[in-house]
Amino acid sequence: MTEADRVGRLFGRTLPGVDTTTIDDAIRAVLEQPKPLVIVQAGDPVLRRRAVDVPADLDRGLFAELLAAMREAMLAAPGVGLAAPQIGLGLRVAVLEDSAVVPEEVAAARDRRPLPYTVIVNPQYRQIGHDTASWYEGCLSVAGWQAATERAVTVELRCVDEDFAPVVERFTGWQARIVQHETDHLDGILYLDRAMLRSLASNAAYSQWWAGADLQVARTELGF
């Protein structure tokens, strides 16, 4: 793939007034937007394309600016992960961070532990073992909705970090769910592609009815 081909895939659609010839230019075009960066919503083509690998020779200072802007947007939303396509940039990088306070019984049921700020670059994951778990999850790019989604309980992540050092790490529970969700974004996959759609609930309905630790109640009442 030529540089022009890669750049042409970065946005997934035409941005008024943006003329990019390199990946660096594409990043600068995004960083020129008001902060916190706007999170694009389902229906935007950039969310449905496989993101372009981050080149190892990318300007480190520019990359650090991008990561800082992504983290700012993630925390402002707020969310526990954000992939570059969600800010309109089809680049294969995501930021993760989960410091949410949830009831102890919910945290225990979902194996939800704090996840420190983590950058994953050019990631791939594979399921370890056969165990899966289904829980409600949402997405900043499908604002206002949540749905029960089956995910692997344990995954092995292979990527590089923000310094392009290789990483091989296993994640379990809710952390594994975050890794899968954000890496899927980089392959053009939204969580709704994997969700049980009869479980779909607005955020308000989820909070009112299904936010407890026992998903079986929602299964019975909604028929999924």
Rg over alpha carbons for the chain, rounded to the nearest Å, is: 18
Sign of the torsion formed by the C-alpha atoms of 183, 218, 211 and 133:
negative
Please report which confidence band the pLDDT of residue 213 belongs to, taking 50, 70 and 90 as the band edges: confident
Q: What confidence score (pLDDT) does residue 3 get? A: 52
pLDDT digits (tens, 9 = 90+) for 70-100: 999 999 999 999 999 999 999 999 999 999 9
Could you say which DSSP state residue 91 is in? B
Which positions are annotated as active-site residues?
182
Q: Tokens 């165990």 appear where?
A: 131
Please report which confidence band the pLDDT of residue 22 belongs to, taking 50, 70 and 90 as the band edges: confident
Domains for the chain: give ranges and CATH numbers. Answer: 3-222 (3.90.45.10)
pLDDT digits (tens, 9 = 90+) for 153-191: 999 999 999 999 999 999 999 999 999 999 999 999 999
pLDDT digits (tens, 9 = 90+) for 25-71: 999 999 999 999 999 999 999 999 999 999 999 999 999 999 999 99
HSE-up of 148 (CA within 13 Å, CB side)?
22
Strand order of the β-sheet with 132-138 is 132-138, 145-152, 201-202
Residue % of the chain over a pLDDT of 90: 87
Distance CA 122, CA 93 (A): 6
Distance CA 216, CA 108 (A): 16
Q: Is 182 exposed, middle or buried (0-12, 13-18, 19+ CB in 10 A)?
A: buried
Nearest alpha-carbon partner for 27 in 47, 52, 50 = 52
Global model pTM greater than 0.85: yes
Nearest alpha-carbon partner for 136 in 94, 185, 177 = 177
